[in-house]
Amino acid sequence: MQYFTALKIGEKRVRAAQDILNKYTGNIAMPALALKDNNNNNWDPVGEENYFTAVKDQNGYLIAICDKNGIAKTVAQWFIEVRKDEIINKIIQNENIPEYNGKVILPI
């Protein structure tokens, strides 16, 4: 796929994921990755499917919506554990998004 075609598709998927995360985080979700990282000069947009995950850091918890490969499409950071749990419970209940349990690929 051509770079700009893949980028436009990926950006659309990132915006949709960001809109979902914004509903539950007070509009602080940021866009993350729109393209899959590959080493063969083929450009692929981030996957269409949505999974949520939380990553613990010294600053608290980051919540991300990613594709089936763990590529983060949108992130919101830093939450205390109680707030993180509230946000994730609402995402599960209202959006029916499953949890991703693998390695998450975040923007640098």
Cα separation, 46 vs 27, whole angstroms = 22
Please state the pTM of the whole predicted model: 0.91
Where in the chain are the domains? 3-95
Rg (CA), the chain: 14
Confidence at residue 99, expressed as pLDDT on a 0 to 100 scale? 96
Hunting for tokens 């981030």 — which residue is that? 46
pLDDT digits (tens, 9 = 90+) for 51-68: 999 999 999 999 999 999
- Extract the runs of DSSP E, i.e. beta strands, from the chain: 30-31, 51-57, 60-66, 72-79
Cα separation, 27 vs 89, whole angstroms = 17
